[in-house]
A and B are shown apart, each in its own frame.
Chain A
Amino acid sequence: MSTNEQRVAEIVAEHAAREGAMMPILHDVQHEFGCVDAAAEAVIARELNLSRADVHGVVSFYHDFRETADARPEVQICRAEACKARGVEALIPAAEKAAGDRVRLTTVYCLGLCSAGPSARVGDRLHARLDASGLADVIEAAR
């Protein structure tokens, strides 16, 4: 999906009066369209009276914002120190196999469930104490 210019302008208008409106705007655009593409950046720049470079600089800085949408479901797997200590690295090959081309696996550095790793996130749903089969179930259930 690409962004709809009119809708992006509406989102900007909703937040424009707030202090530091940029991040809330980008989150809403990302949430609605699955990306903040060049067309959206141009609209945001115009409405906030910034250069397109200013907006692109912000979008490209943060891991959460994508420049193109990906329709596949996303499963985030924590691979930071605490989850490594609990063996997440050994689960990765099987997870990649379970994901195949259908699911996008991404690495996240810490979901804050460090005493009960390995952990994963799908949307706003968290999973902890995963073993190989638990993680495979999470990946297979991801929609």
Chain B
Amino acid sequence: MIVRISDDALARALGADELAETFANKGHEVQRTSSWGMHWLEPLVEIDGTGFGPATIADVDAILAGSSDKAIGEIVEHPFIARQQRLTFARAGQTRPTSLEDYAATGGWSGLERARRIGGTQIIEEVTASGLRGRGGAGFPAGIKWKTVAATPGEQKYIVCNADEGDSGTFADRMLMEGDPYALIEGMAIAGEAVGADQGYIYVRSEYPDAIRKLEQALALCAEVIAPFRCEVRVGAGAYVCGEETSLLNSLEGLRGEVRAKPPLPAIEGLFGKPTVVNNVLTLAAVPHILGEGGSSAYDALGIARSKGTMPIQLAGNIRHGGLYEVAFGITLRELVYDVGGGTDSGRPVKAVQVGGPLGAYLHPDQFDIRFDYEAYTEADALIGHGGITVFDDTADMGAMARFAMEFCAAESCGKCTPCRIGSVRGVELIDRIRAGGRRADAVEALPVMHNAPKSGRLPEQEIGLLTDLCETMKFGSLCALGGFTPYPVMSALKNWPEDFMPGREGAVRKVLDRNDA
């Protein structure tokens, strides 16, 4: 019997290796495939299309006998899978990640072959026509970025893949790199063809050992297919800020991962000062499909308004059915959290949902009708980011989460710009003081010579005013998204859950916020 078990890091962290070994010891052929993305069912065992999960070694005999109560029926017909529109993750669960045979048999390399036939100008036209926008967070149109690099003169150009997926609540890059590494490599080779670059780098965070190993295996196996394009994996070193593109370029060059001021844009002066395409894993992995026959118009036909195609959404945190859900833009948060995700894992009411990683806003259940669309989120003072959705139940302390946002920014700030470096530290102190009910005048302020210093200390309302000002300064004065977007989780938590900052005095918080808005 052929038994299929994922070798994705998440399945392995839950015992998939031991499970596979048990099946193998009983004389069955075990194929290690990518993950279907139904994480609550991992480790998921697949026999003749039927799934069993979450499986443990104790379930093996019953699964083989066909009597296991872990059976979930046909995997492809499972509602979680059947309702998705998988383009970037079309192979998820179905192929062996580093098998060239499986990749070629599922349409692999056809995008690259066609790209080589039609040439750079046509490739860029098709990517532009598809409406593909950068999936890393900023949503910049990929075709326009490529066009800039192509038009910039230079003998050496680079394709850099940003695989520094540091946002909590996101794992689509990891799953793609571990599950379908050739799709990413093919996308990079196509980008190279489009802009005239022959060298690529994939910058992967060190927290992803499995992705690093699989990409290195895959690159060694497909070197001849992508030649003359060459590609190499480079490993980060635990700095969250290196997910910012200019900081990533500095790190690749062997420098401190400090953010660079823009302009010059990386497309014009990027890695080692050369024209460079920097795209996220999901952006590049979407390209082979788009470059297939009729792919660009099919991609453009999906989605709404200016958000085209599909987004691999990651359902994380306290959610019953967590995992990867790829769907066309336009789905509401309510559908994602309740219909797809099944509410919280703890069974308690949903209190908050953070969309877009540590720098994304906390959304209140009242806002759940918002549609997944770059512009709709911007309008709501929120962001899609990398498409991660982290659910919290009613035990969450949003004041503590706001404090953590500032604390995280302080820990991960590259230190180059003041609003982020100092502002984040002051932010932690301010939130602590608000939660402690304000502060008394300190010893210096109390001195008689300090004529202009208030002698009565500061009320929490005044501290909230200060925090609001600080957040404005960080938002508009920081060099990159780390300092610039940290105010989103902080201010959204303060607006939506004032009771977690000043219990019993929510009205006072709202009054200060309203005054500042006016």
A85 and B254 within 8 A (CB) = no
Interchain pairs with CB closer than 8 A, number: 149
A interface majority secondary structure: loop
A99 at interface, CB cutoff 8 A: no
Which of B207, B240, B411 has a CB less than 8 Å from the CB of A121?
A: B207
In this complex, what residue of A is CB-closest to B167?
A110
In this complex, what residue of A is CB-closest to B249?
A20
Chain B nearest Cβ from A36, distance in angstroms: 10
Chain B residues with Cβ below 8 Å from A21 are 254
Chain B residues with Cβ below 8 Å from A142 are none
B345 and A108 within 8 A (CB) = no
Chain A residues with Cβ below 8 Å from B498 are none
Contact with A along B236-266 (1 / 0, CB 8 A): 1111100000000001111111100000000
Chain A contact-residue range equals 35 or more
Knowing A81-B401, A85-B391, say if A115 contacts B323 (CB, 8 Å): yes
A20 and B317 within 8 A (CB) = no
Bound Cα distance from A27 to B471, whole angstroms: 36
B307 at interface, CB cutoff 8 A: no
Chain A nearest Cβ from B205, distance in angstroms: 9
B237 and A114 within 8 A (CB) = no
B209 and A124 within 8 A (CB) = yes
A35 at interface, CB cutoff 8 A: no
Contact with A along B313-324 (1 / 0, CB 8 A): 011111100110
Bound Cα distance from A24 to B243, whole angstroms: 18
Contact with B along A107-129 (1 / 0, CB 8 A): 01111111111010100101111
Q: Which residues of A contact B (CB under 8 A)?
A: 19-24, 26-27, 57-58, 61-65, 78, 80-86, 108-117, 119, 121, 124, 126-129
In this complex, what residue of B is CB-closest to A85?
B317
In this complex, what residue of B is CB-closest to A54?
B255
Chain A nearest Cβ from B37, distance in angstroms: 9
Closest 6 CB pairs of A and B: A115-B322, A22-B254, A80-B168, A63-B238, A85-B317, A114-B316
B239 and A62 within 8 A (CB) = yes
Chain A residues with Cβ below 8 Å from B208 are 112
Chain B nearest Cβ from A86, distance in angstroms: 6
B331 at interface, CB cutoff 8 A: no
A116 and B13 within 8 A (CB) = yes
Contact with A along B353-367 (1 / 0, CB 8 A): 010011000000000
Q: Could you list 21 examples of A-B contacts with CB < 8 Å?
A: A20-B252, A20-B253, A23-B236, A24-B235, A57-B256, A61-B239, A64-B206, A64-B236, A80-B358, A81-B168, A81-B357, A85-B392, A86-B345, A108-B238, A109-B168, A109-B240, A112-B170, A112-B207, A114-B314, A115-B39, A116-B39
B388 and A114 within 8 A (CB) = yes
Chain A nearest Cβ from B435, distance in angstroms: 16
| 6 further A-B pairs in the complex, CB-CB below 8 A; given A81-B404, A82-B390 | A20-B252, A24-B234, A63-B237, A65-B237, A113-B10, A115-B323
